[in-house]
Every structure is written in C-alpha cells, then in structure tokens.
Amino acid sequence: MEKRKLIDENGIRLDGRKWNELRPIRMEVGTLKNADGSAYIEFGKNKIVAAVYGPKEVHPKHEVLPDRALLRCRYHMAPFSVDERKNPAPSRREIEISKVIREALEPAIIMEDYPRTAIEVYVEVLQSDGGSRVAGITASSLALADAGINMRDLVVGCSSGIIDGQVVLDLNDIEDKEGSGDMPVAFMPNLNLITLLQVDGIYTKEQFKQAFELALEGGRKIYRMQREALISKFFGNTQPASAEEDEE
C-alpha cells in the first residue's frame, strides 16, 4: 500500500495549513468553580481541561518536603477521547506524560514559597488530536496562574516535527502517527528557559535546529494567547483569547 503524502508540492498539508502554521487555538481561564484554578484549551481538535488544587496539606505525611512544595501531576485521557474506547485505567503513556508535565512545570513554580504543602495538577483530555502533552502543559500553566500560585513565568508548550522530509509546526494526529519526527518543547518565554525538550525520530543537525527554532516561534505566539486569556479573566477584557494564527 502506497504511503499517502502529508504535504503537497506547494507546501500545503492535509488540513490546509502551511508548514509554519499553528492549528486554531482557543483558551479560557477559570472554567471550573470547584477547583482553586482551572483552564480549558482547544488546540486543533484537542479539547483539554486542567485543574489545580492547593497549596494543601500533604497526604500521606511521609511525602512532606520541609523546605518546598510537593508538585503532583496527573494526565488522563477520557475513554471517549480517542476513536476506539480507551481503558480508563492509567496507561504507561499517561504515567510518562504525567511525569513530563510535572517536570516541565516545576521550574516555573516558586516551590520554596509553599513548604510542607502539596500542589496538585489534573489534566483531563476530553478529545485527543496529536500534541496533547504540549497543550496540557499550556493549560496547566494557566490553571496554576489562575490559582494564584507564585510563578517565575508562564510555561508554554508547542511541538514541531518532520513529515515527508520537511520540518513543520504543530503536528496533528495523522502527522504525528505517519510522520517521521516529533519534537515537543516547553519553555518560559519571558525568561527564555527551556523546561522540556523531547525528540522522537531521526533529525539531521540542520533539521534539529530548524524544528527547535520553529517550536519556539510557535510557542511565543501561544504565549501571547495565554496572557490574553489571563487578562480577559482578571481584567474583563472583551477580546477572546483565541487565534487562527497571528498574521505577521
């Protein structure tokens, strides 16, 4: 069976985007009344909600850290989030992504401000469409800010990858599965510090550099949307925090 082309000779992908275009993104802060902080994101066809609880008492007690907060993260895909019903029990992939999200967020939180407490982050994927880990990191960062957690900067996630030998921005599900490379990146744009860099596939030195810089460029556009979403929540700005992609 012949492999289908994911990008044509004019540089247009299957979903109509150019190689350097993000999918449509929409963000909303403060969506859950019962959480200390929350955010909802639509990232392409991804639909993800993030909730933050804490700082709160640590249970069990032996996990208490005397000089800083304990950060717990749980990434979970709803059984109906994918084409074939998923087992609701945590998979190895979900456990791995939970760890990745925690490690991506931890450098941004001023943990020493909350000794002997726990901060819990829950990421629930309602619909999955490729790139859910970077979308989950982006939503989690907003939820932490909504909860009033002291942070050095917001964390934004964006991915790039390789399809049909070409570096592109923000892989969707088909491109993620059928492409030859995927690079999720998370960083603090204001401080210019990387908190996550994963690479799947084989890259030349030039492709790696191009993909990395492309993910950072896309992330900076998403960062502006994050800021707009927070301003909209706390200052009542009427502008929605969404964009197809900034025209530049």
162 in any annotated domain: yes
Yes or no: say if 160 and 168 are a contact pair by the CB < 8 Å rule: yes
Q: Which tokens hold the place of 149?
A: 């957690």
Residue 163, classified by CB atoms within 10 Å of its CB into exposed (0-12), middle (13-18) or buried (19+), is buried
Residue with tokens 């909504």: 146
pLDDT of residue 147: 97
- Identify the CA nearest to 95 among candidates 118, 120, 77, 115: 77
pLDDT of residue 242: 60
Looking at the DSSP bridge assignments, the partners of residue 41 are 27, 48
CA distance linking residue 177 with residue 169, whole number of Å: 15
Yes or no: say if 50 and 121 are a contact pair by the CB < 8 Å rule: yes
92 in any annotated domain: yes
2 in any annotated domain: no
Yes or no: say if 24 and 181 are a contact pair by the CB < 8 Å rule: no
Looking at the DSSP bridge assignments, the partners of residue 188 are 193
Residue with tokens 């800010």: 145
Domain count, the chain: 1
CA distance linking residue 105 with residue 155, whole number of Å: 7
- Find the domain containing 162 and state its range: 25-234
55 in any annotated domain: yes
Residue with tokens 């510090």: 193
70 in any annotated domain: yes
Residues comprising the chain, all counted = 248
60 in any annotated domain: yes
CATH number, domain with residue 149: 3.30.230.70
CA distance linking residue 134 with residue 140, whole number of Å: 10
What number is the average pLDDT over the span 167-178? 94
Beta-carbon count within 10 A of 91 CB: 13
Lowest mean pLDDT among 11-15, 99-103, 137-141: 11-15
Beta-carbon count within 10 A of 124 CB: 18
What number is the average pLDDT over the span 147-168? 96
Yes or no: say if 7 and 13 are a contact pair by the CB < 8 Å rule: yes
Q: What is the pLDDT of residues 53-110, one digit of tens each?
A: 999 999 999 999 999 999 999 999 998 888 778 777 878 999 999 999 999 999 999 9
Q: What is the pLDDT of residues 84-99, one digit of tens each?
A: 787 778 789 999 999 9
What number is the average pLDDT over the span 114-122? 97
- Identify the CA nearest to 104 among candidates 52, 145, 155: 155
Yes or no: say if 167 and 217 are a contact pair by the CB < 8 Å rule: no
CA distance linking residue 192 with residue 28, whole number of Å: 24
Q: Tell me the backbone φ, ψ of residue 175, rounded to 5 degrees.
A: -65, -35
230 in any annotated domain: yes
147 in any annotated domain: yes
DSSP 113: G
